[in-house]
Amino acid sequence: MENITGRDVTVGGLVIAWIAISKQMERCEVDNICRRYEHSTVLSSGGWRSIINEQKRRLRLTDNVFIGIEDQEGPINAEIVQTEGEDHYVLLTGSVEHPINVEVLLAHELAHAALRHTRGSWLSSNLAAVLFGVAYILTTNIFLAILAAVLAESLLITPMRQQEEFDADRKAAEIAGPQKVIETLELLKRTEKPLPVVDSIFSNHPPIDERIKRIHDYFSPVLLCEPDA
């Protein structure tokens, strides 16, 4: 192997900085959701408490989950993060009066927690940075190294995260009913803003039509039996 050059040290530093920045961004996202949860309306009383406990029981989810709603105008949305202490925080945004089925959104987010999607593996978070470094060491061509990182993100990481969305939809359909999940996705589709092309290539969320199709394909015998299907 050739001697290590100043350029190799620079690339090594870039990879380490990339990994450190992405870790810090993940921490900021968790802190942001936790802070907003503190100021949200906590869903822990009355009927919601029993709905949440029933969903957790059916998902066999024993971790602590803290769920809050930020009352806002506009379409409802949901996010989930996991803290270093293994607690999950779900933040729903939008108006509880909105026609979107909050139970379905909760089922989808709790499914992410039950399926252990909420904290990405070290490799999935850093694969692009690692491949960038490896490609540079092998080729010493910065453009090929950038290409390796972009390909890793678009061909490996994005499809893996999109598969997690399909899996969470399927689990949500198992506990909330496939027809309700389809109706919720159709409502989301009507309120969704179209993404720019580049964002849609790297989006963690697959196209809503594809999510609906997957549920139809997987649950078609059940859907045919449902009276309102």
Contact residues toward Zn ion (CB under 5 A) are 165, 168
Query: Distance (Å, rounded) from C-alpha 83 to C-alpha 70?
Result: 20
Least gap, CB of 205 to Zn ion (angstroms): 7
Our CB check for Zn ion shows the closer of 103 and 165 to be 165
Residue type, 21: I
DSSP string over 64-101: -EEEEEE--SS--EEEEEE-TTS-EEEEEES-TTSSS-
Our CB check for Zn ion shows the closer of 129 and 172 to be 172
Least gap, CB of 131 to Zn ion (angstroms): 26
Least gap, CB of 53 to Zn ion (angstroms): 21
Q: State which H helix or E strand residue 189 sits in.
A: helix 178-191
**What are the two backbone dihedrals, phi and then psi, of residue 96, each rounded to the nearest 5 degrees?**
-65, -15
Count of residues in the chain: 229
Our CB check for Zn ion shows the closer of 149 and 185 to be 185
Least gap, CB of 166 to Zn ion (angstroms): 10
Burial (0-12, 13-18, 19+ Cβ within 10 Å), 20 = exposed
Least gap, CB of 156 to Zn ion (angstroms): 19
Our CB check for Zn ion shows the closer of 109 and 132 to be 109
Our CB check for Zn ion shows the closer of 104 and 128 to be 104
